[in-house]
Amino acid sequence: MTTKSIANTVYSWVDERLGLGELAKFARKKTVPVHKQSFWYYWGGISLFLFLVQCFTGVLLLVYYRPGADAYESVRQITFTMHFGWLIRSAHAWSANLMMLSVLVHMFSVFFMKAYRSPREFGWFSGMMLLALASVFGFSGYLLPMDELSFFATKVGLEIPAAIPVIGPIIANLLRGGPDVSEFTVQRFFALHVVVLPAVFIPLLAFHLWLVQKHGNAAPPSEEAKPASQRKSMPFMPNFLVKDLAMWIISLNVLALLASIFPWQLGKQYDALAPAPLGIHPEWYFMAPFEMLKLLGLVFSGKLAALGEIAGILIFTLGIVLWLLIPFYDPNLESGRRGRRAHYFGLFAIFALLVTTAIGYWTIR
């Protein structure tokens, strides 16, 4: 028997039982539109790749990380004692940041291509949930080394949910495991980071990817308006997949350069009794919401001082809800003026994010 015929026999044995042929047919069904803006289709795939890097490096860190009172010491050992521990830790932290960046680029590119329109609404909603979960991944992971910066940044960050009326303090206490950030908080954040979040994120991501496979990629409205004979597309399998893989290799190179040239730092061990050091600030992807809440709080201060923070949270939440519900406001190609307004809303959102992030960094003390 030749190797080829053995492979064929094994394939038909598995195919008969699992229906691989049908799966391959489903995988081959998807095509990707080809036009001037096709570049933006890579960003979902880049986010996916960086998430896989997160899982791989995260499992390696898990081998030596110890949550609780010993957290700082275990991260110190990983960084300074274990062979290549610093590189794995650096790759994990850098790819978390690159993933947030690529998810944001992906979100705005699908927004401007109007890929949230019918029948892709669930792609948009599941994507927003993935973004929210990715932010919680970032927030919970940031505390795990328990150095000075992560301790005080978490303390400040938890003041936001704590300001929500009635349920806020309950949520904050539940997350902290007490009135202050402590080793109990690390234990909880650890459970969230390595068990709860992956358990929710991975099935949701599978649903998100299945939807793209089912509906195919959306073409921007300028392409949709063209007659079918003038629109171009390419099969996803294998043509676009090869291009996706090339982008993954480029992303891996960028990650390797950043992680090795700028190794992720470990600060001093936290001291709950010490005053907060200067320059405490949230991660860059939380800077905009943090600053927006601060600014809205200031606008509403004065006579309404007590209500300032609450008003800020309400207005900010309203902005997110409007963003989430955009598929209902601008449902299809016939949306006309609403479609244009949605476009300006997107431009305004980018402007607001950039300006508030810049103000946030500018006013760090």
Amino acid at site 184: F
Q: State the binding string over 147-186 for ligand HEM (x if CB under 6 A, else -).
A: ----------------------------------------
- Of the candidate spans 120-128, 253-261, 290-298, 349-357, the one that interacts with ligand HEM by CB under 6 A turns out to be 120-128
Measured in residues, the chain has a length of: 365
Which of 53, 78, 87, 103 is close enough to bind ligand HEM by CB under 6 A? 103
Which of 72, 86, 94, 124 is close enough to bind ligand HEM by CB under 6 A? 124
Q: Which is nearer to ligand HEM, 45 or 360 (CB)?
A: 45
Q: Which of residues 193-232 bind ligand HEM (CB under 6 A)?
A: 205, 208-209, 212, 217-218
Q: Which is nearer to ligand HEM, 52 or 59 (CB)?
A: 52
Calpha distance 50→167 (Å, rounded)? 34
Task: Give start and end residues of each alpha helix (H) in 113-196.
Answer: 121-143, 148-157, 159-162, 167-176, 183-191
Among 114, 110, 136, which residue's Cα sits nearest to residue 41? Answer: 110
Distances (CA, A) of 30 to 2, 131, 229: 34, 25, 18
- Min dist CB 293 to ligand HEM, Å, is 21
Task: Give the max Cα distance, the chain.
Answer: 88
Burial letters for 193-231: b for 16+ Cβ neighbours within 10 Å, e otherwise?
bbeebbeebeeebeebeebbeeeebbbbbebeeeeeeee
Which of 71, 110, 144, 158 is close enough to bind ligand HEM by CB under 6 A? 110
Q: State the binding string over 20-59 for ligand HEM (x if CB under 6 A, else -).
A: ---------------------x-xxx-xx--x--------
Any contact of residue 94 with ligand HEM (CB under 6 A)? no
Calpha distance 287→326 (Å, rounded)? 24
Residues near ligand HEM (CB under 6 A) are 41, 43-45, 47-48, 51, 103, 106-107, 110, 115-116, 120, 123-124, 127-128, 130-131, 134, 205, 208-209, 212, 217-218
